[in-house]
Amino acid sequence: MKKILSKTLLILGCLAPSLFAEQVLVNNDFKSGLSGWSTQGTGFTAVAGSDEWGSFINMNITDGGADPWNVKLYQDGITLEPGYEYTMEWGATRASGNIAVGLGMSADPYTDYMSDRIEFSGSYLEHTTTNGQAVTLHYCDAAVSGLRFYMDLGGNNASARIAWASIGKTAKACDGSGGELTNPGNGPVPYYGELKVSGNRIIGARSKSAVQVRGMSLFWSLWGGEKFYNASAIQSLVQDWKVEVVRAAMGVDQDGGYNTNPEEQKALVSTVVDAAIANEIYVIIDFHCHVADQYSAQAKAFFGYMAEKYGKYDNVIFEVYNEPLAISWGTVKNYAVGVISEIRKYSDNLVIVGTPNWSQDVDAVVSDRISATNVAYTLHFYAGSHGSDLMAKARTALNSNLALFVTEWGTVNANGDGNVATASSNDWMTFMDQNKLSWANWSVHDKVEGASAFVNGISTTGSGWTTWNNLTASGQYVYSKLTGYASSAAWRSAPKETSIAAPHVSKTGAVIMNLRQMEYQLGTPNAHEALLFDTQGRLVWSAHQPSGNGTYHYGSMGILPSGAYILKLRGIHLEQTVRVSVP
């Protein structure tokens, strides 16, 4: 009975990390043999096996050499991301000697971020959270990729059995609280904050953790696509389709596009951006052109206007070149550098740059990247036409510490038509999830083609957008993915900030708001401090309010951007927090 109980606890210990944390290692329980694992050294064999208690790897050692690294079982390609706590646990059996495990660099200077060691004498031993011997790391520095998890058994000829290994990953705030990050608003933007490039990841300036947002791209702002550029459509995508990002794909060099009708096109884009800000999601302002380098002056004028108008909002992302054709990366880069310099006059927000060959040759950037900060690169794919070869290009870019954003992808063929390539789409979903790649699906339209989300004739303002028969096969696939992912989004499950906290309300009276005039009244006048924070928690205004007649102003009308804010009032017998707005 004791043996059975011990084995049961072993199995539970192995499973616990995957139940309560995201598992970083591939095939950490060896159920797929050595898949995902590699070995280093010559004086041993690594053999997968299993018994009634589970799977394992037998390390049959005949010559362990002089050093621990002479016999190594390892896994490469691991990334540490800020805003997470990592927990390393493992279990093994060995007749004698030790096993050293760790997570670190596999080349000079061989820095270890986590390390552990167990001395064995013939019995099974493990280091777990349950027995208090797990190794944990709360990581808050810049993302670092290309790390190796290793298990070193050299310097000893005693064979060993590796039962399991785990690196679990759970979100943990890097704001100094050490606790779970709250969401001061109702969308992803208040939770994550402005998007920032950190290594090969895009992180939230507020959350300090890797961000993966998913959503929809609107069709060209022409040819009927413009009818979906309205606030009701965006709100329906947020509420019903659970999008976290939308993309406004502004036509440029076509009839009626920006080059010939700039005011109308700017107005269409502004409608989408305003709606995204109101719904607290991210929005991509896309210069949707295949030859944008030929219109550098127009691009600078457009992005200068948009950056000055919207660059202060964390919601906004600038995509300066949709899909360059078969031109050199140098040509794209020269164009992008000029446009970025215009944007940077007004905003430090994320900029995404297209890559040659329809934004597929992301590997072309590796040796000649843009030096400006907070720049990511565009990866586009259509599941019916693109697969492992394009994924390999993306891996090359990621392994070279480039950040990617999938601003457009389709479930069908590259021409925008055809049947849904379900298996390939699923493969791409897995690839994007593994690499934390944000994405926008093409497209919100009712055009009669495979990539459209809706059947022809659908309402343009959201009515019937969740009725199954109103969705195309592509729409059904993407809708199911978006709504399925929603339940696991960290910002949705994060604790909300208390909107009103008044422990001494009986002495001060209720706070009565006049949002239109940016005023508030206290039932009992009371000298106090008033502090106004934006939804990212940044102090934007403060004042000492004397007792007066009980009516007070907050903020500065006409100076602060319109939107939601948090007003905190502090004084004797007064401690209240109220959600307010600036008109």
Among this protein's residues, is 323 annotated catalytic? Answer: yes
Alpha carbon distance 147, 152 (integer Å): 15
Q: Which one of 280, 323, 342, 449 is the catalytic residue? A: 323
CA nearest to 513, candidates 526, 503, 504, 500: 500
Q: What is the DSSP letter of 471?
A: B
Among positive and negative, which fits the CA dihedral 256, 259, 261, 263? positive
The two structure tokens encoding residue 45: 């064999």
Token readout for 16 is 């616990």
Q: Using the 8-state DSSP alphabet, how is residue 493 labeled?
A: H
How far are the Cα atoms of 122, 135, 239 from residue 11, in angstroms, in the given order? 19, 19, 41
Q: Which residues pair with 316 in a beta bridge?
A: 283
- Known catalytic residue at 449: no
Handedness of CA 302, 306, 308, 311 (dihedral sign): negative
Euclidean distance between the first and final Cα of the chain, in Å? 70
Query: Which tokens is 192 given?
Result: 């994550």
Nearest to 525 by CA among 509, 503, 543, 547: 547
Q: How far apart are CA 342 and CA 108, in angstroms?
A: 40
To 5 degrees, how large is the angle CA 126–CA 167–CA 72? 70
357-395 burial code (b ≥16 CB/10 A, e <16): bbbbbbbbbeeebbeeebbbbbbbbbbbebbeebbebbb
Is residue 545 within 8 Å of 572, Cβ to Cβ? Answer: no
**What does each C-alpha distance from 532 to 191, 384, 524, 570 come to in angstroms?**
18, 50, 21, 12
Q: What is the DSSP letter of 180?
A: P
Catalytic residue (one of 89, 244, 280, 408): 408
Give the gyration radius of the chain's Cα atoms: 27
DSSP codes of every residue in 243-284 = -SEEEEEEE-SSTTSTTT-HHHHHHHHHHHHHHHHHTT-EEE
C-alpha distances (whole Å) from 283 to each of 7, 144, 239, 358 are 51, 27, 15, 21
Beta bridge partners, 102, equal 115, 150
Sign of CA dihedral 552, 556, 558, 564: negative
Q: Give catalytic residue positions.
A: 323, 408
